[in-house]
Structure 1
Amino acid sequence: MKLPIVLLAFMGIATLVSTKNATVADKSYLEKQKFLYEIVYRIEDPLMFEEWIKLGKHLIVEKSFYDHYDIHMEKFWESYKEKALLPKGEFFGNLVKSHYMQTWGLFNFFYYAKNWEVFQRNVCWARMHVNEGMFVHALTLAIIHRDDFVGLMLPYIYEIFPQHFFDSRFIYAAEKFDFNIWSKYAMYEKQYLDVYYKNNNNNDSMGSYVHMKDWKMWQWWKLMGLDKQWYMEDNYMLRENIYKHNKDSQWLSMMRDVKMMWMPVDYTRDIDFANEELRLSYFTEDVEWNAFWYYINMDYPFNLDGKTFQLQNDRRGEFWMYAIQKLLSRYYMERLSNGLGDIHRISRSQSFEHGYNPRLVAYNGLGFSYRKDYYHLYDSGNFDMLERLREFFARVERVVDLGYYTMKDGTVVDLRNPDAADMIGSILQGNIDVMDKYFFNYWYLYSHMYVADVGFNDVEVVPHAFLNLETVVRDPLFYSLHKRILDVFYRFKDSLGPYQREELSFPGVYIKDVKVSEMVTYFDLFDYDVTNLINGKMRFVDGEFKWEKTLLARQMRLNHKPFNFEITVESDKAQKVYVRVFLAPKHNELGQIIPLNENRLNFFSFDKFSYELSAGLNTIKRNPADYKFTSPDSLTYTEMYHYIKLAYEGKYEFHLNMSYPHFSFPNRLMLPRGWAQGMPMQLFFMVTLDDDDHEQFDYTFSCGLGSGRRWFDKKSLAYPFDREIDEHDFYVPNMYFKDVMIYHQDNLKFYRQHNYTNYGHFDYKYFENYYTKGLMN
């Protein structure tokens, strides 16, 4: 199925036109992109696009229309005919085994379709006949993994299923929203408030006091005198790079007739002294933080084999473990910012003190179940599944300690070499590329199903945060489970011994100095597009859909101000090098310095890039805008659809760099929150030889999945912190540690003052500096 892109372009499938500045989409691409955005619009409602309804009358099941036809496709079709598929409207969990197995067959119908026409007809059929969650999961995998779909995209998962990212109170309000009723109510309320707050006479009234006395962090709307209700957005959507669009006449013209309504959204909260973990809800429930884990597992799902999908080129097992280490190190820094300590490992002998209630509601209206305080692994009662999980960990640890594995056919696999990291990672993920299929036992699914109290073969299940990749990161128990997984992986890494000095040093290269500008974080406001929740009749004119209303969730989120660093490097000759940058804490929650070897798992991969050194002194300048593996705020579902429509009508050039690849880490989350007085941290810089002849892909629209070019060199992805550290050999001239402070700025202080004059109205003026920060670079 994996065909060279050049061949695909020749065949007329890869329909991208290169220009000097960016890649511009042609009519064929835009037609496909428009289809994908329409097919998932209001996903839980019946399909209303007549053109796509006509195409979806039948699922094409003749084998001649596919490059490959397998048992999973046969089982899916038989299950559908026997009415054994998960019904529409039921909760779908992509971490529930029975759901995943059914999705596997549907994905194959999408992936192995010989051409766009077969694929499109199958998608239209599935949209009308298959469970909503199952359909989106299979479609997302197909769009990501088909080579002939390079550059095509779906809306972000939080725009397709906002229910999995925002609290139930907001979801209910959005689903009940009626513009006609709301507009009359809003008109009368505005007249009342304009009189009530005239000259700010009532700002200090008892009513204001009652409204404010239970104010908590992130409830910014109370400080402005607003409530949890819908407001008309008459200016522009809020995001940090909005300045690129709200001054553009074409954008203003395009969005002029779109009515935008927003409502404040809160995070899950509780009494802090009762559940200290909820101090971090602004981070663990961050929309893009959760989406990041979802897309990592969409890129490397456990059931797609490395040979067919070329995932072995990307060191899939090692990368999956690297991603876990990255999440845990970043989470730990945020814990330290809030005065919390180590991540507790999940254990059969100890209970988990703090429970979690996600306060989410599924698209079928069922609320998510919660995990009670002092949760213990034995609480579920499914001892057979628990024993299977225990046996899995015991077997993997035994294999790691032995240093080799004997397969069924007698082949001995050596695990005492660095290349075995990919094999160990695959075992721990339980993916299909494990060296022995006996290890491919769905243990990772079972670990989530067990916490959610789901049996081996259950089909109809109660919604739970642990049953979907896009919701599981919200639960603090996620980090405890994955710390246990990471422990096993680094048990293997420790068996390799520390790096020797010659494996770390780079003769002739010396980092002389590093300068870092001030690093400051703050909370800004952002509008998430939740239009998929809207109700009401869709309007069509001459068969074309008119997108006239948009609902926005306005939420406070962590961000940082622009910063930069300069690395002064001396080289004895001109050469190509690779630069690694890590961020890590210096002290634990008690203020004690963390020894380097103990701290090595807390080093968060900050930046990686290739650079051409000249002989002599070199000054390397870098800022977050340069990072290839991070992304700024993207255009919303609404904006993208309107741009696609304009381009399809020949009124706009649609550049593929208008959006960003799904795999990128959110740039705004690069820094932990820090402290007002400054939180001590450290940056680590390392320069190594770049002797790998690699051709990089276009990061502006491609993920390079399966290309083997995602990583610049062949060293471990977490090098040099992936092995135990012998400080006698570790410090070499091509390394540099830099102490830094991360400051947190309280940008809500202004609203707590009594002389705030715009009470009762949203204040655009104050936030203007933050949303134009890109102009200050």
Structure 2
Amino acid sequence: MARLLVLLAILACSCQTISAEYFTEYTADKDYLIKQKRIYNILYYFSQPDIVNPELYKEGQAWDIKANIDSYTNSTAVMEFLDHWENGMLPRGALYSIFYPILLHETKALFRLFWYAKDFETFFKTALWARAYINEGMFVTAFAQAVIRRPDTKYIRLPAPYELYPYSFFNSEVLEKAHHAKLFGKLESKSGAGYDTYIIPANYSGWYLNLDFDEEHKLSYFTEDIGLNTFYMYYRFEYPFWLSTEEFGLTPGYRGEEYLYGHKQLWNRYFLERISNDLGYIEDFDWDKEFHTAYYPTMTFHNSFPYPQRPHWTRFPEYKFKYIEDVKNYESRVTGAIDSGYILKADGKWVNIYTPEGLNLLGNIIEGNEDSYNLPFYGSVDFWGRKILGFNPEPNNPYQIIPSALEYFDTSLRDPAFYRLYKKIFYYWYRYKEHMKAYQKEEIIFPELKIDSVVVDKLQTYFDQYDTIVSAGMVVESQKEAESTYVKVRQPRLNHKPFKFHITVKADKPTKAVMRIFLGPKFDMHHKLYDFRESYKYFYEIDQWIFDLNAGTNKIERNSRDFFFSMPDLESSDIFYKRLEKAIDGESFTYQGRLYGFPERLILPKGKREGMPFQFFVYVSPLTSEPTKYSSRIFGDYLLDSKPFGFPLDRPVYEFQFNAPNMFFKDVNIFHKDEYELNITH
């Protein structure tokens, strides 16, 4: 993800404005529009298929998978799924999580059924059947993956997850009011189109509790942000740990490294938000001692069961001990691999990990994904760490589970334990990098390139109000009710004013170059100046791109709205669907060649009212090899250089190496203001 580089079309003059036009924009044809509408129809009130759009429900009931087995390209996969179905699968209405082995096995069988449908029509009918009979959570998980990956559904958009299942994004108080919107909501408008819109005001979990002793709640606006949690869900959808690269055509070569660096990016971004709120370092923990940080979700599932909570300074429950013993063994084996430099494959052969692809192999065994060289031996620190830290009870039987927030990708970021677990995982990243030693001067210093100046516009953050339509996640009594009432949740969210970088670079000769921009802390929570030899670990990569430099002086302008990995908020489904219908009737409809990106409005940490010091690290280097194309169905198509993720801050640093012509540290202040104080231009 964070390594995706973009080769832009550069103007022939020395004054360059770098823009985000590299994302391919397509004009939809009729086939795309019809498919897009049908996908949306499947997911519209997907938990009540017999009530909302009963015609589709009947069509799904009528589909006979076994009788149409020739409509699938892999009859073995079809029969394996039918064996599961005929012997009983997770019932509809039951809680679901992919972090339970039996449910994972059933999900994989369902996904393979979707994947091997010969054509879109077969896929659509199979999905209608599954929508009528399969557990809702399992159906949406497998169906979403199939839509993302099938060749005949490329760039078909899925409704936002917070619209489909708001229980993962809003606390129980908000959803209780949403279920009784006419009583607790504010009637915003009576529409002449035949529906009423009700607004439910929302804050964040724990806002009404006395949590003075628990300062983590200061970050709830960030950790519970619906856009950030949706991004993390899509990030984990890019390389589902339960799918193999070879069988399902995932982008090869980056999986494990992206897993490590993508999480490191999120962790660093979280750390910058911590210091904006005067919070200190993230504490370490020991599996054999009390866990320091509490979590009180104030959330419930659709069946009214509360999410499990974790009190402060609590020892791990006895029923987690078996997992603790396993994860400690896995950690020891991973550490042994790093220190010895070799991974033991399942066939008994040893593989050197201090090679260009070595970090990728290491990431695979830490995550414990399907490309791990030895899953039984190295297990999954990620999988079992979540299982332990969630503090949820053991299931009474395989189909009676109460998952924790850590056992869903759309709620993981809400639990402070997530960041403690990944701090432990990054220990392996740093240990591996320390074995590789620091870069030599000639590897990172390029005297032929010089950054003369960096000017950044004033940086201002604020909270604005955002409306999320949650109607399709509510229970209705009739299709008429579904079509006549819209319920929206209104919540404040962190945002920032757009800003620009103005960078002047001198080049000895025409050069194709790579620009990288990192944001990091200037002072710690005690207002002590950071030593860069320590603080480099916390720098967050906000942008990078490939471009052409002319000989002499080059003036470059880069807008924050053009950062390659970020994107604006998704258009709400009600507006999107109306636009889709108009397009089917003849209006033009365009779409981007990507599904999601990091929320554009969360690029900057909150800062402080009086201004808070941060640092930008701007780094330019020549492109030393031909770019290679990276294709992602979720994040788009990009051109990459050959440098590691996070270069040049991915190895231990010494300050004398980072005082060079092609590097520039820019001190800035981030000001947080109330929305009414700003002259916001949207």
TM-score relative to the length of structure 1: 0.80
Correspondent of 2:30 among 23, 27, 52: 27
Matched with 1:665 is 598
Tell me how far apart the structure 2 counterparts of residues 308 and 492 of structure 1 sit (CA, whole Å).
30
Please state how far the C-alpha of 1:338 moved relative to its aligned partner. Answer: 0.7
> 2: distance between equivalents of 1:443 and 1:363?
30
* Equivalent-residue separation in structure 1 for 2:435 and 2:330 (angstroms): 20
Alpha-carbon shift at residue 449 of structure 1 (Å): 2.2
What value does the CA root-mean-square deviation take over the aligned residues?
Answer: 2.5
Where does residue 263 of structure 1 map in the other structure? 200
* Cα drift, residue 233 of structure 1: 2.6
Q: 1:145 to 1:476 in 2, by over 3 A?
A: same
1-structure distance, mates of 2:540, 2:82: 45
Counterpart of 2:9 in structure 1 is none
Which of 87, 105, 110 is the equivalent residue of 2:109? 105
Counterpart contact for 2:366–2:379, Cα < 8 Å: no
Partner of 1:216: none
1:324 pairs with 2:327: no
Given candidates 600, 610, 619, the residue that maps to 1:677 is 610
CA shift at 1:40, angstroms? 1.1
Identity rate of aligned residues, in percent? 32
**CA–CA distance in 2 between the matches of 1:609 and 1:255?**
48
Higher gyration radius (CA): 1
Counterpart of 1:189 in structure 2 is none
1:549 maps to 485
Aligned pairs (5 A) from 1:366-405: 366-376=305-315, 378-405=316-343
The Cα shift of 1:69 comes to 4.6
SS of the counterpart of 1:381?
helix
Partner of residue 503 from structure 1, selected from 429, 437, 443: 443
1:337 alignment partner in structure 2? 276
Do the aligned partners of 1:321 and 1:486 also contact (CA within 8 Å) in 2? yes
| Residues in 2 aligned to 1:21 and 1:607: alpha-carbon distance in whole angstroms | 19
Deviation of 1:327 (Å): 0.8
Q: Give the alignment of 1:592-607 within 5 angstroms.
A: 592-607=528-543
Q: Which residue of 2 aligns with 1:66?
A: 72
Q: Answer with 23-32 or 673-682: which moved more.
A: 23-32
Segments of 5+ residues of structure 1 without an aligned counterpart are: 1-19, 183-228, 236-253, 751-766
Aligned partner (choices 126, 130, 134) of residue 134 of structure 2: 130
Deviations 1:170-190 (A, max 9, x none): 112222335xxx5xxxxxxxx
1:369 CA displacement: 1.9
Give, in whole Å, the separation in 2 of the partners of 1:722 and 1:401.
18
**Amino acid across the alignment from 2:121:** E
CA shift at 1:443, angstroms?
A: 4.7
Please say if residues 233 and 262 of structure 1, whose CA atoms lie closer than 8 Å, have aligned partners that are also in contact. yes
1:55 aligned onto 2:84: no
- In the TM superposition, 1:81-480 aligns within 5 A as 81-83=86-88, 85-178=89-182, 229-234=184-189, 258-269=195-206, 270-313=209-252, 315-376=254-315, 378-439=316-377, 441-452=379-390, 453=392, 455=394, 458-480=398-420
CA distance in 1, matches of 2:462, 2:238: 31
The count of residues paired between Structure 1 and Structure 2 equals 653
* Equivalent pair of 1:158/1:164 in contact (CA under 8 Å): yes
| Cα distance, 1:633 vs structure 2 | 1.8
- C-alpha displacement of 1:296: 0.8
Counterpart of 2:549 (choices 613, 631, 634) is 613
Aligned equivalents of 2:383 and 2:375: distance in 1?
16
CA 1:536 to 1:494, structure 2 compared with 1: closer, same or farther past 3 Å? Answer: same
Alpha-carbon distance change, 328 to 697 in structure 1, aligned in 2, over 3 angstroms: closer
SS in 1 for 2:131: helix
Aligned counterpart, 1:524: 464
Quote the offset at 1:166 in angstroms. Answer: 0.3
Letter in 2 for 1:398: G
Asked if the contact 1:523–1:557 (Cα under 8 Å) also holds between the matched residues in 2, the reply is: yes
Contact 1:579 1:686 in 2 (8 A): yes
- How many Å apart are 1:314 and its aligned residue? 5.3
| Aligned equivalents of 1:99, 1:44: Cα separation in 2 | 18
Q: CA deviation at 1:455?
A: 4.5
Query: CA contact under 8 A between 1:67 and 1:112: conserved in structure 2?
Result: yes
Deviation, structure 1 residue 731 = 3.0
- Partners of 1:694 and 1:256 lie apart in 2 by 52
Q: Distance in 2 between matches of 1:414 and 1:163?
A: 45
Counterparts of 2:117 and 2:181, CA distance in 1: 40
Larger RCO (CA within 8 A; separation ≥ 6) = 2
How far, CA to CA, are the matches of 1:380 and 1:37 in structure 2?
45
Instruction: Pick the aligned partner of 1:512 from 436, 441, 452.
Output: 452
Distance in 2 (alpha carbons) for counterparts of 1:487 and 1:689: 31
Deviates more, 1:380-389 or 1:120-129: 380-389
Structure 2 residue matching 1:656: 3-state secondary structure: strand
Among 567, 574, 599, the residue aligned to 1:638: 574
Alpha carbons of structure 1 residues 729 and 354: separation in structure 2 relative to 1, 3 Å: closer
Task: Report the residue type matching 1:162 in the other structure.
Answer: P
Corresponding position of 2:645: 717
Inter-partner Cα distance in structure 2 for 1:643 and 1:622:
31
SS of equivalent residue, structure 1 residue 460: coil
- Paired residue type of 2:641: D
Measured in 2, the distance between the counterparts of 1:135 and 1:741 equals 47
Task: Give the gaps of 5 or more residues in structure 2.
Answer: 1-22
Helix, strand or coil: the match of 2:640?
coil
1:36 to 35, 39, 57: 39
- Could you tell me how far 1:167 is from its partner in structure 2? 0.7
Instruction: Give CA deviations for 1:664-719 in whole Å, capped at 9, x if unaligned.
Output: 100111111101111110001111223544476899xx5367xxx54521211111
